[in-house]
Amino acid sequence: MAVTGHIVLIGAGNVATRMGIALCQAGHHIIHVHSRSHESSSLLAKRLDCGHGTNISEIPENADLYLVAVADQALNKGFPGLKLNQRLVVHTSGSQPMDILEHYSSVHGVIYPLQTLSRERDIDFRRVPLCIEANTPENLERIKEWARTVSGIIYHVDSRQRAILHLAAVFACNFPNQLFHVAERILERYQLPFEMLRPLIGETAAKVQAMTPFQAQTGPALRQDLQVMEKHIELLRGDAMLQEIYRILSEMITQTHSTP
């Protein structure tokens, strides 16, 4: 493979944006952004200084890599009319199997970034783990070469392992983030700034870099401080869902730390 190549992005959201920027910085040329809406395809194309469109027939046929970073539902529904013959096509999904791409090209695989990516949040892409898969050993080597140009952390995982990693990622990222949002709302109700919690959130994530989550746990459920927990449930009166979540998570902590 040439050191640099021509790339078409299909999708213009969080992943397409961050990977598009990283690929450009690695010296590749994004030649076209295809997306569902004109608004997002043109926005990303402007950022990457390339062509764009919403019509499948406008997708150039001469790219070295087609990177499909669309919502999982869209990937599942497919792209009628898209034919890439023997061009390399990869998707970026954690949950979708690799062979979902076999209709489009005989040369296909996956580059799944095991990181939370947001369109407007800059990230050091060299430290984003990329989980790769391909339909043949030669194609795996090709995808590895592409992946190495943007990241220093590459894992070879199959579709089943990737689905498990994605599930774990939901527990490790999306659920805690929703709980940060809950904490923010609770503070707002009492006119306290979320800023005050940022050091705690930072240290919570930092601790598990040096010890296991089991070892890192603290708090009333671990200490079996039943009176405090009852007080917290009382403070959550009027919000049955949060009371339920508080009880379930406290029970999980109790069970986790009471098993020998």
For ligand NAP, the binding residues (CB under 6 A) are 10-16, 35-37, 40, 69-72, 74-75, 92-94, 112-113, 116-117
- What's the order of all strands across the beta sheet hosting 154-156? 51-53, 29-34, 6-10, 65-68, 85-91, 105-113, 130-134, 154-156
Question: Shortest Cβ distance from residue 87 to ligand NAP (Å)?
Answer: 17
Q: Quote the least distance from Cβ 71 to ligand NAP, whole Å.
A: 5
Nearer CB in complex with ligand NAP: 44/253:
44
Q: What is the Cβ-side half-sphere exposure of residue 157, based on CA atoms within 13 angstroms?
A: 23
Q: Toward ligand NAP, which CB reaches closer, 5 or 94?
A: 94
Per residue, the 3-state secondary structure of 61-104, as one string, reads CCCCEEEECCCHHHHHHCCCCCCCEEEEEEECCCCCCHHHHCCC
What residue type is 18 in one-letter code? R
Query: Measured between alpha carbons, how far is residue 44 from residues 16, 29, 32, 93, 257 in Å?
Result: 8, 14, 10, 20, 48
Query: CB of 26: closest distance to ligand NAP in angstroms?
Result: 18
Q: Looking at beta carbons only, is 70 or 134 nearer to ligand NAP?
A: 70
Query: For ligand NAP, which residue has the nearest CB?
Result: 13
Q: Please, which residue, 110 or 229, has the CB nearer to ligand NAP?
A: 110
Q: Could you tell me if residue 51 is left (phi over 0), alpha (psi between -120 and 50 degrees) or otherwise beta?
A: beta
**Residue 51 beta carbon to ligand NAP: minimum distance, rounded to whole angstroms:** 15
Of residues 35 and 250, the one with the C-beta less far from ligand NAP: 35
Contact 197, 183 (CB under 8 A): yes
Q: CB 54 → ligand NAP: shortest distance, Å?
A: 7
